[in-house]
Structure 1
Amino acid sequence: MASESALPTDKSSGVGDAGFQTEKILALAIAHFIHDVYSSFLAPLLPLLIEKLSMSLTQAGFLSTIMQIPALLNPYIGLLADRASVRYFVILAPAMTAVPMSLIGMAPSYGVLLILLFITGISVSVFHVPSPVMVADLSAARKGRGMSFYMTGGELARTVGPLVAVAAVSLFGLEDFYPVMIFGMLSSVWLYFKFRRVPVKQVSSTRKLSIPQTWRSLRHVLLPLTAILITRGFMHASLTAFLPTYIKMETGNLWLAGIALTLFEAAGVAGVLTAGSVSDGFGRRKTLLASLLGAPLFLFLFALTGGWLRVAALLVVGFTLLSTTPVMLALVQENARHSPAAANGLFMMISFIARSAVVVVVGFIADRIGLNATYLISAAMGLVGIPFVVMLPKK
C-alpha cells in the first residue's frame, strides 16, 4: 500500500497545516461548485418545462423525486468506490451531470425528461459519495477545514446555478442552451490532469467491509447523527422550503421573500466555510452543540419578532443551521477507517430519507396551524437533538 498512498496520513501534526493540500482541496471545491451548478438547473427551468410538455403539477413534482431516487443507492456506490480508485468517480461526474442537465430543454416527451433526470441523479451520487473521501485524504489532520472548503463550493452553486440556467435559456432558448455542457466536460478534463498523478488512498485490501458491516462498525456515529438529522431537519425544511412563502404571506412582497432566502443561504455559506475549521480545534461535538443550540434559539427569535431584529435572527439561524454538514462529514470520515466511501454513502442516504420525510411532515403541520407556529415547533424539535450530540464519540 505504500505505493498507493502518496497522501499524508500523519496524525501527529495535531490540528496544524502539515499535510493539508490546499491547492487540490480547492480544486475539488471548484469542481463541486461546477457540478452543483448543473444539478440546480431543474427548479428555475421547471415553469418552462411544464408549459412545453403540458405537465400537471403532480408530474412536475415527480421530476425532483426521480432525480433523488438514486440517493437510495449511495451506500452501494460508496462500496464500489471503496474497491476502485475514488478519483475516477469524481473526475467523470461533472461531465456526466452536465450533459443530461443541458439536454433537458430538448426533451421531446415527459418520459425522456424522466430518463435524463434519473441519469443526473446517478451522476450526482457518483460525485457526492466519494468526493468527501478524497477531501478527507487530502486534508490530513484538518478534515473539518477541508470539508468546509468543499461544502462552500456546493452552497455557492445553489445561489449561482439558477441564475446560470436562466441566463443560458435567455441567451439561447430552452431547446438550444445545450452548449453550456462544455463547461462541465472541460471540468472533468481539468480534474483528470489535476489528479491523474495523485494516487488517492484506497481501502486496505485486507479488510473490505460490506454495507451491513460498515453500518455495524459505525452505528455509534450514525445512530446519533440520524437523530440529529431528523430533529435538525424540521428547522432546515421549514426554512429552505417555506421561508419565501412565509415572508410573502407576512409582507405581501415577493421581492422581500426572495431576499430573505438569499440572506439565509448567504449566511449558510459563511457558516459552512467557518464551522469545519473551527471544529478541528474546538472539537466536533462542541461545534455541533453550539450550532444546534444557537439555531433553535434564534429561530424562536425569528418567529416571535419583526423588523431588523428578525433579519439579524435569520442570519444567525442560517449561519448556525447550515454549518453542521461539514462537521458531520468530518465525523463520519474520521471513524470510517475501512470503508470510507460506503460510510459516506450510508450517511448521505440517511440524510436524504430524513430530509424527504421531514419536509412532508412540516408541510402537513403548516397546513393545519400556520407557518409561524410551525417555526416554533421546528425550533423546539431542534433542541430535542442536543442530547444526541453527547452520544457522539469525543474523538
Structure 2
Amino acid sequence: MAPSDKKFRAQEIFLLSLAHFVHDVYTAFLSPLLPLLLEKLSLSLTRGGSLAAVIQLPSLMNPVLGFLADRVNLKYFVIFAPMFTAIFMSLIGLASNYFILLLMLFLVGISVAVFHVPAPVLIARMAGPRKGLAMSFFMVGGELARTVGPLIAVTLVSLWGLDGLWPVMFAGIAMSGILFLHLRKVDFISYQSKPRGPLMFSGFRRIFLPLTGVIAARSFMHGALTAFLPTYIKMRGGNLFLGGLALSVFEAAGVVGVLIAGPLSDFLGRSKTLAISLIGAPGFIFLFLETNGLWQFLALIGAGATLLSTTPVMLALVQEHAKESPAMANGIFMMLSFVLRSSMVIFIGLLADRFGLHTTYYISAILGMLALPLLFFLPHKV
C-alpha cells in the first residue's frame, strides 16, 4: 500500500471497521456484568474498578507496538486479535476468584493492544485526505459494539447464566477467519523514511503535551459513565437489564456523535470540534444527575453523543502531525488513552466507595471542563 495512494478504500475500511465492531463487542461485556461479578466474588467497587483497569494495563507496551508496526508487518496480530479477545471474554463468568479473573482480563488487554495500535494507522493510510471520515467509520464499529455488547451480555446471562457465555466466542473466531482471507496479502508496514530523531520527538511533544491533559479530563467522565453506569442504575433502584439498556443508549448516542464529529472536524477543524464536545459533555452529565424520566434519558443521549465523539477527531489529529512514524504516534496515543482511563476508573472506584457514585459523577463533570483551555495549545491542521 503506497503512501501516495490517495483513494478512499471503502471496502477495506469497512472490513476493518466490522472487525473493530466484533472485537469490541466482547470487551463491552465487562461493565454490564460487573454487578454480577462483584456479587459472585464479593468485591468492592475499588476492586471492580481494577477489573476495568487491568484490561488497559498492557497498553503500556503500545509505543513499542507502534514502533514495530512502523517497521514490521503486524497484520497477524490484527487478524487474530478478535479471536483471542472473544475466547477470554466469553470465559470470564467461569472465573472462580478475583485473581483468575484479573489474569483473564490482562490477557484480553494484550489482545486489545495488538489490535488497536496498527489498525487505525492502516485506516488512515486507506483514507487519502479524508482521514476524519475514515476514522469515524472505524470508531463507529467500536461504538456500535459498546451499544449492542451490553444488551448481548445481559440477554445471554439471563438465558444461560453467568457461566454460560462461552458459546459466543465462535463469532470472534469467525471474524478472524474472514480477516485472514481478505488481509493476508495486505502490507501493514507504515514506515517509509528514516525518522529525523529529535525533530520527530519534538513534533510528538507539540501534539501530546496538550492532548494528554485533554485525554485525562475526558477519561474521568468516560470512565465514570462506561464502567459504572449499570452499577449506578442498579444502586438507584433499577435492575441489571435497565442498567445494560442505559449503557447501550449512551453508546448508541456515541455512534451518532462519532459519525458527525469526524467529518465535521475535516470541515470545521479538530480543536473547534473538540471544544463543542468538551463543553457539551459536562453539561449533559449535570442534566442527567438533576433530572428524571424523559429528560434524564435525553441527557444520557446528549452525554454519549458529545463525550464519545472525541476519539476519531483526536486520532485524525495525531495522524496528521506524526507522518514520519504514524504507528508509533498512534501507540503513544492509545497508551495515554488506556492508561489514563484505567487509572481514572480506579480513582473513580475509590471516590465512589467514599462519597457514592452520584457525587463522583458530579466531580467527573467538573474535572471534564478543565480540558477546554488546553485546546488552544493543540497544533493546527497541516
Q: 1:140 aligns to what SS in structure 2?
A: coil
Distance 1:96 1:312, change over 3 A: closer
Q: Deviations over 1:268-301 (max 9, x none)?
A: 1211122111111121111111111222233333
Matches of residues 170-319 of structure 1 in structure 2 within 5 Å?
178-200=166-188, 202-207=190-195, 215-247=201-233, 252-254=237-239, 257-319=243-305
Gaps (5+ residues) in structure 1?
11-18
1:137 corresponds to: 125
- 1:95 paired with 2:83, answer yes
- 1:30 paired with 2:18, answer yes
Greater gyration radius: 1
Q: Deviations over 1:18-70 (max 9, x none)?
A: x111111111111011111233344556677778xx74426776544443321
Q: Deviations over 1:336-388 (max 9, x none)?
A: 11221221111111112222233344444455555555444433322221111
- 1:81 paired with 2:56, answer no
> Which one of the candidate residues 101, 108, 117 is aligned to 2:105?
117
User: CA separation in 2, counterparts of 1:307 and 1:166?
Assistant: 22
Q: 2:320 aligns to what SS in structure 1?
A: helix
Q: 1:385 aligns to what SS in structure 2?
A: helix
User: CA separation in 2, counterparts of 1:302 and 1:109?
Assistant: 35
Contact 1:214 1:343 in 2 (8 A): no
> Which one of the candidate residues 309, 319, 326 is aligned to 1:323?
309
> Which one of the candidate residues 37, 40, 43 is aligned to 1:57?
43
Give the letter aligned to residue 206 of structure 1. K
Give the letter aligned to residue 181 of structure 1. M
- 1:158 paired with 2:142, answer no
- 1:345 paired with 2:320, answer no
Q: Give the number of aligned pairs.
A: 378
1:15 corresponds to: none
104-113 or 254-263, which deviates more: 104-113
Contact 2:231 2:243 in 1 (8 A): yes
Give the letter aligned to residue 37 of structure 1. V
User: CA separation in 1, counterparts of 2:284 and 2:146?
Assistant: 23
2:58 corresponds to: 70
1:385 corresponds to: 371
42-51 or 368-377, which deviates more: 42-51
Matches of residues 354-393 of structure 1 in structure 2 within 5 Å?
354-366=340-352, 371-393=357-379
2:135 corresponds to: 147
Q: 2:215 aligns to what SS in structure 1?
A: helix
Gaps (5+ residues) in structure 2?
none
Q: Deviations over 1:168-193 (max 9, x none)?
A: 66777766754443322221221122
Q: Deviations over 1:144-191 (max 9, x none)?
A: 111111111111212323444456667777667544433222212211
Give the letter aligned to residue 259 of structure 2. L
Q: 1:57 aligns to what SS in structure 2?
A: coil
Distance 1:85 1:50, change over 3 A: same
Q: 2:209 aligns to what SS in structure 1?
A: helix
Taking structure 1 as the reference length, what is the TM-score of the superposition?
A: 0.82
Contact 2:50 2:345 in 1 (8 A): no
User: CA separation in 1, counterparts of 2:71 and 2:340?
Assistant: 28
User: CA separation in 1, counterparts of 2:107 and 2:235?
Assistant: 37
Distance 1:319 1:41, change over 3 A: closer
Q: CA deviation at 1:125?
A: 0.4
Give the letter aligned to residue 78 of structure 1. G
Distance 1:85 1:272, change over 3 A: same
User: CA separation in 1, counterparts of 2:103 and 2:233?
Assistant: 36
Give the letter aligned to residue 148 of structure 1. S
Give the letter aligned to residue 331 of structure 1. L
User: CA separation in 1, counterparts of 2:24 and 2:294?
Assistant: 32
Q: Pairwise CA RMSD of aligned residues? A: 3.2
1:14 corresponds to: none
Taking structure 2 as the reference length, what is the TM-score of the superposition?
A: 0.85
Higher relative contact order by CA 8 Å / sep ≥ 6: 1 or 2?
A: 2
Distance 1:214 1:359, change over 3 A: farther
User: CA separation in 2, counterparts of 1:91 and 1:276?
Assistant: 25
